Amino acid sequence: MGERLRDKVAIVTGASRGIGAAIAANMAQEGAKVVLVSRKIEGLQTVAAEIRGNGGEATPLACHVGHPDQREDMLDQALNAYGRVDILVNNAATNPHFGPMLSIDGGAWDKTFEVNVKGYFGMIRLVAGHLQERKAKGSIVNIASVAGLMAAPMQGVYGMTKAAVISMTKTLAMELGASGIRVNAIAPGLVETKFAQVLVDNDEIRSNIVNRTAAGRVGQPRDIAGGAVFLASDESDYLTGDVMVIDGGWTLG
């Protein structure tokens, strides 16, 4: 067990699998007490059991981050469990439409913005308010995407929400800096997860991306987790408003 996040309490959304689960596991290994959040409790319980089996501490809480009442109830439960929150990792996301941007329907549009933008903002507002009330320093890490930094054919609205997350990150870093709250983002490239299955499992898309990627491979959830731990820790105390691109060099060309 490490100590980079010793005595810290972290909320990680979208923690039932993939990038969120890897981040939660790494944070627990570095000493954080981790609140695991996702819509369904079953996957969270599996992740929590693995963390506990490795000597860490985790509490799974079911919550749809796009719903304000569920967000508030989740924070109350987290505070009841651990007394405070120091770190927020906004990772829960959705991408219901894969196709030309103009062909998206209103329901898919609304769902994408509800989770990816309103959910992130709502979580930040709750946790930042808690930190300000405590007069405590804190770290917020938003999982964005390289799709928010460049054209995102076939996932244009998803890319639009991730561009909004990047903008939100920079503005809130300015507005919350005086409170000692740092806000940073991570923009992953293509990572092998169930969420990205439509890209990873398409041989043509996968090979096109890998051929343009300096590292010559698709990313793994563990590749993102280390960056999140760094941004959450005191090692990055002078870093805020940054977008850490972890994409194996995909966006270099």
Where do the domains of the chain lie? Answer: 9-243
Largest CA-CA distance found in the chain, in angstroms, rounded? 51
pLDDT of residue 2: 86
pLDDT of residue 200: 64
Residues 6+ apart with CB under 8 A from 20: 12, 13, 14, 38, 89, 91, 92, 143
pTM over 0.75: yes
Based on the residue annotation, tell me whether 158 is a catalytic residue of this protein: yes
Tell me the pLDDT band of 210, cut-offs 50, 70 and 90. confident
Measured in whole angstroms, the distance separating CA 113 from the mean position of its chain's CA atoms is 15
Considering the candidates 82, 120, 158, 238, report the single residue annotated as catalytic.
158
Q: Is the pLDDT of residue 199 over 80?
A: no
Helix axes 106-113, 156-176, angle to 10 degrees: 30
Locate 156 and state its tokens.
């244009």
Mean pLDDT confidence for 202-229: 88
Q: Is the pLDDT of residue 135 over 90?
A: yes
Tell me the pLDDT band of 209, cut-offs 50, 70 and 90. confident
Which CATH architecture is the domain 9-243 placed in? 3-Layer(aba) Sandwich (3.40)
pLDDT of residue 195: 66
Tell me the pLDDT band of 201, cut-offs 50, 70 and 90. confident
Q: Which of 106, 108, 96, 115 is nearest to 198 (CA)?
A: 96
Tell me the pLDDT band of 243, cut-offs 50, 70 and 90. very high
Q: What is the SS3 assignment for 5? A: coil
Q: Tell me the pLDDT of the chain averaged across its residues.
A: 94
Residues 14-60 have pLDDT tens digits of: 999 999 999 999 999 999 999 999 999 999 999 999 999 999 999 99
